[in-house]
Structure 1
Amino acid sequence: MASWLNLSADDGHEFSAYYSESASTPSKGRVVVVQEVFGVNQHIRDVCDRFSQNGYDALAPSLFDRLEPGVQLGYSAEDVDKGRDLRSRLDWNDALNDTLASISYLAQSGPVAVVGFCYGGAIAWLAASTSHARMAVCYYGSYIHKFRDQHPQCPALLHFGARDPMIPRENVEDIRAENTEANPDICIYPDAGHGFNCDYRDSFHGPSAELAWQRTLDFLSQNFTRA
């Protein structure tokens, strides 16, 4: 069952979040899903629903509510430009704080994972460097390289496409070299580009998406068992 919630960050900012409740009782765990620059659009809601169908409570905060409530963009050139503009105007700390508030909301029921895509992949990485997230999965996080010195304090799984023009292979290796102690699990998909998980985009690559999804589910299962 899915619904929209109203949550508050620690600075008093109120924002909406899409919540998809686990199809099983009790749930296997709790997941905060962090948006791309397109807002909590159909793809992100689909991801939440897939998690719920697999037994997880999933919550996706609308990070752009700080600038423009209810942003849900598609993948046209105009939408890409708008999403990038919103991302450039949203302070990273504000986006992180709204994500941490979402984690705290779900943490009332137990440990929480954070799973982010592109822009959200970097925010998931930052959340992993705090004590809030108990595990993190980052899909093609374009800005992780920028924050590679913010080391995860929990298990982390990173998915990258080898054909991603936005994330050069040397950036991935920089992330690996900078985080030898945290040792995130880095998976590279030879035939995938950027956004390979999103079946609304031309860059969707089904085999890579399914493999990454199974690895994500396995990672969550293993780490929730240990949490």
Structure 2
Amino acid sequence: MLKDEIDSLAPARDFNRRSFVQTTVGGGFAAAVLPVTAQTISTDTVGLEAGPVRVPVGDFQMSAYRAQPAGGKSLPVILVASEIFGVHEHIADVCRRFAKQGYLAIAPELFVRHGNAGAYTDIPKLISEVVSKASDAQVCADLDATVAWADANGGDVGKLGITGFCWGGRTTWRYVAHNPKVAAGVAWYGPVARNYHPGDKTIVELAADIKAPVLGLYGAADGGIPVDTLTQLENALKAAGHTKSEMVVYPDTPHAFHADYRPSYRKAAADDGWARCLAWFKKNGVV
């Protein structure tokens, strides 16, 4: 399972002692992705409020990483859904990149009930012991709670977007299907024809519930997400009368092409995808 994830991690190179394991949400890198590569991007916190926060989900306190312009009020909100590795340094950096653009960006640790995703080195074990236990129902409820937290902490959830990577890309599609208040989503290489938790529907099966526009960013050489599955989703969306979403498929591009800390990183596709991501949110009112 997820051979594409395993293939995209090796070989990697050391980067000036940045090969450290995640210890707190948004701090360090997950053990499975070490050592990180020399091209790894690091966004500073100048002008930002950034760091771990706690999001109440009933009686449970869920950890999350939040970044926003310092002193900002009524900020548009971007939910950031992580890869299977949890909220480690790369996901925190993505939040800071959005914050530099004027957003309140928040990445909840959606696996925290089931184990420390950042501590695993064996990906199949990580999936079976942690990722597969995070059901769509739990994830959507956690994201609902995250939206409520943002609403109470400087965010304008009338301008709500979501983005995510791999597992988080699928989560992006799934949450748009769940929450009609989401204005737009950007899904980076998220599987659409398979699920992770037993009994959950695929995104293709949920196509009729997707109302908001979603931009899908994919690599044609992604061994875990065949291009024909994207066509299946496009056809299902059209059959449901949905014409707002778009797919961009980069030729000769692997899975995890945005992950600058991994060997799978492809700068041209990543830069183009990021520009499209920002433009998509602005076009659809998340600004």
Task: Give TM-score scaled by structure 1 length.
Answer: 0.89
Q: Partners of 1:220 and 1:128 in 2: how far apart?
A: 14
Alpha-carbon contact 2:216-2:247 (below 8 Å) kept: yes
Per mean C-alpha deviation after superposition, the further-off stretch among 120-129 and 138-147 is: 138-147
Q: Identify the residue that residue 126 of structure 2 maps to in structure 1.
A: 83
1:155 correspondence with 2:213: yes
What secondary structure, in the 3-state scheme, does the structure 2 residue paired with 1:7 have? Answer: strand
Q: Which residue of 2 aligns with 1:194?
A: 255
For residues 157 and 202 of structure 1, the distance between their equivalents in structure 2, rounded to whole angstroms, comes to 24
Q: Which has the larger radius of gyration?
A: 2
Distance apart, 1:30 and its partner CA: 1.1
Q: Find the residue that maps to 1:64 and give its secondary structure.
A: coil
Query: Hey, which of these two has a bigger chunk of helix by percent?
Result: 1
Q: Write the distance in 2 (CA, Å) between the matches of 1:48 and 1:144.
A: 28
| Paired letter, 2:174 | L
SS in 1 for 2:65: strand
Give 1:132 shift.
3.4
* TM-score normalised according to structure 2 size: 0.71
Deviation at 1:14, TM superposition (A): 2.3
- Residue 122 of structure 1 pairs with residue 170 of structure 2: yes
- Over residues 128-163 of structure 1, what are the superposed CA-to-partner deviations in whole Å (9 max), with x where a residue is unaligned? 112232211110002455222323221211111111
Identical columns (%): 28
Change (3 A) 1:149 1:107: farther
- Which moves more between the two structures, 20-29 or 85-94? 20-29
Q: Does 1:223 align with 2:223?
A: no
2:242 match: 182
Aligned pairs for 1:1-227 (under 5 A) are 1-9=49-57, 11-22=58-69, 25=72, 29-68=76-115, 71-72=117-118, 78-85=121-128, 86-108=130-152, 109-110=155-156, 111-129=159-177, 130-143=179-192, 146-150=202-206, 151-180=209-238, 181-183=241-243, 184-224=245-285
Stretch of structure 1 that moved more, 16-25 or 59-68: 16-25
* Partner SS for 1:178: helix
Between the aligned partners of 2:274 and 2:113, the Cα distance in structure 1 is 30
Distance change in 2, residues 1:22/1:192 (3 Å)? farther
**Cα drift, residue 27 of structure 1:** 6.7
* Structure 2 residue runs without a partner (length 5+): 1-48, 195-201
Higher relative contact order (CA 8 A, sep 6+): 2
RMSD between superposed Cα atoms in Å: 2.1
Contact 1:29 1:224 in 2 (8 A): no
Query: More deviation in 194-203 or 148-157?
Result: 148-157
Aligned AA (2:278): L
Distance 1:202 1:143 in 2: 24
8 Å Cα contact 1:41-1:73 kept in structure 2? no
The 3 A distance-change label for structure 1 pair 192 and 24 is farther
Taking a change above 3 Å as real, the CA distance of residues 166 and 60 of structure 1, as seen in their structure-2 partners, is same
Instruction: Kindly provide the CA deviation profile for residues 144-187 of structure 1, in whole angstroms up to 9, marking residues without a partner as x.
Output: 55222323221211111111000001101001000012231111
Runs of 4+ in 1 over 3 A off after TM superposition: 23-28
The alpha carbon displacement at 1:23 in A equals: 5.8
**Secondary structure, aligned partner of 1:179:** helix
**How many aligned residue pairs are there?**
221
